[in-house]
Amino acid sequence: MVEVVEGLLAALPHATADHDPRLLAAAARPGRSRDTALRLYRDATENPASADGRIRRGLRDARYLHSRERRFVADGIHGLLRHGEVLAAVLEDDARLTRWLGWLLTQGLPVADAADAWKETQPGSVPRFAAVVDLAGALAPLLHTLTPEEAVALVGSVTPACASALIRSLGTEVGAFLAASNARAPVTIRAHRARTEREELTGRLAAEGFDATPTPYAPDGLHIARGGNLVATATWREGLFEVQDEGSQLIAALVQPQGLVVDFCAGAGGKTLALSAMMVGGGILAADVRASALNELQRRARRAGIDNVSTCVLPPAGAFPRTLNRAMGLADRVLVDAPCSGSGALRRHPAYRLRITANTLASNPVDQRAILDRAAPLVARGGRLVYATCSVFVEENDAVVEDFLSSHPQFARMPAREVLGAHATDVGDGEVLRVLPHIHSTDGFFGIVLVRS
């Protein structure tokens, strides 16, 4: 697959000169910025399952950094998670410090400054820092000696198992996907339609110093192009919007909520709140195995002034609690937003690429199928079961649905176009919802509607 290898060059980091030279110089030499970045990067790579939380807590606790330094260090850690393997290969040195200096070079640090900073603490020969100036030229010969899987793993800084799954799922689009996943995710919000219109919210945000533009696919979404701290605004305190990716908003639209809705894997409630805002009458029962997540959902619902959502803590296995058991066979809509690899959100959560292993790819579909089996009896006759993930892997999406339908003949596919109308072909093939960062500028999401006969 020569096209796969050639398409990967677009995913390489491109040199920029956007940063203050003084900030770059300080981050290159021994000091608080460099030490914090290297410590948190090491912690993330050694603890992939909890990397996001560790980085977030580490930056929060680094009060000795100024706000500009903290943002720069955060960008640097995420840059290393996205490009660390490529930088190590080109520099022919796998040390974390070498990778850090290599990333700084892509941000505008002069080669001589990188070499001087390296010499201050490291013995021996200086890495090939000049090679980073033309990464594509330095890497292209190496890529053509590798298999497609090896090339994807290198350029994407992903595990071999993740690389293989990406090629199986995306084919020659994998380079474009990685390029989009290596970019910074947009800040997207959802107007709470029960309390404001998108146009009205745009005006309110403009008065508070934010540039907001309508999302092309989700009817209540806004991209925030410029501004400060959204959660410090009056519009936030009044509960007029939620921060939510456009793809996630589309999953809620696919549910087309009415009557009794069960959000079976509700988590902290991003989609639950979106469903609530769409409903006229009826109610939502939000269930999850994590009581702490449901507590967060309740807090968010209070801020938004929502009163049609109740919660239920699910045991990991066994019988449903009484609240959910009373809904058996009565739910008009059941959403299973299943736990998954998060492969569709690599740009938003760069550390996810560390935790997608052969074991998770083998176990996730088994768990997803078990969750679908458990949720299916809740659906009323004529009701709909909506299966969704934030994954781009066929193993977690199409294959899970096929396996479920093979043993549940009472369920049949409902084309997405019957829910979303002509809009469905903009965000999928008309049969399923499938959005991707390199095509739709959303996180990667999959959604399908199954109707109980």
Mean pLDDT, 10 residues at a time, over the chain (453 residues)?
74 72 91 95 92 93 91 94 94 94 94 93 90 89 91 95 96 94 92 92 94 95 87 92 96 96 95 93 94 95 91 93 94 97 95 94 97 97 98 98 97 97 93 97 98 95
Q: What DSSP character marks residue 261?
A: E
CATH topology of domain 246-452: Rossmann fold (3.40.50)
pTM of the model as a whole? 0.94
Could you give the residue range(s) of every CATH 3.40.50.150 domain in the chain? 246-452
- The pLDDT assigned to 16 comes to 62
pLDDT value of residue 251: 97
Tokens of 187: 């800040």
80 contacts: CB under 8 Å, gap ≥ 6 = 37, 41, 87, 96, 99, 100, 103
In this prediction, residue 15 carries a pLDDT of 60
Torsion of CA 425, 429, 434, 437, to 10 degrees: -70
**211/226 Cα distance (integer angstroms):** 5
Residue with tokens 């894997």: 265
Whose structure tokens read 């009896």?
Answer: 377
What pLDDT is stored for residue 19 in this prediction?
75
Looking at residue 1, what is its pLDDT? 55
The answer to whether 352 touches 345, Cβ cutoff 8 Å, is yes
Q: What was the pLDDT predicted at 109?
A: 93
What residue spans in the chain does CATH classification 3.30.70.1170 cover? 187-243
Instruction: List phi, psi (to 5°) of 5.
Output: -65, -45
- Token code pair at residue 82: 């996205």
- Please give the pLDDT value at position 231: 86
CA distance 260 to 19: 52
CATH number among 3.40.50.12500, 3.30.70.1170, 3.90.1200.10, 2.60.40.10, domain 187-243: 3.30.70.1170
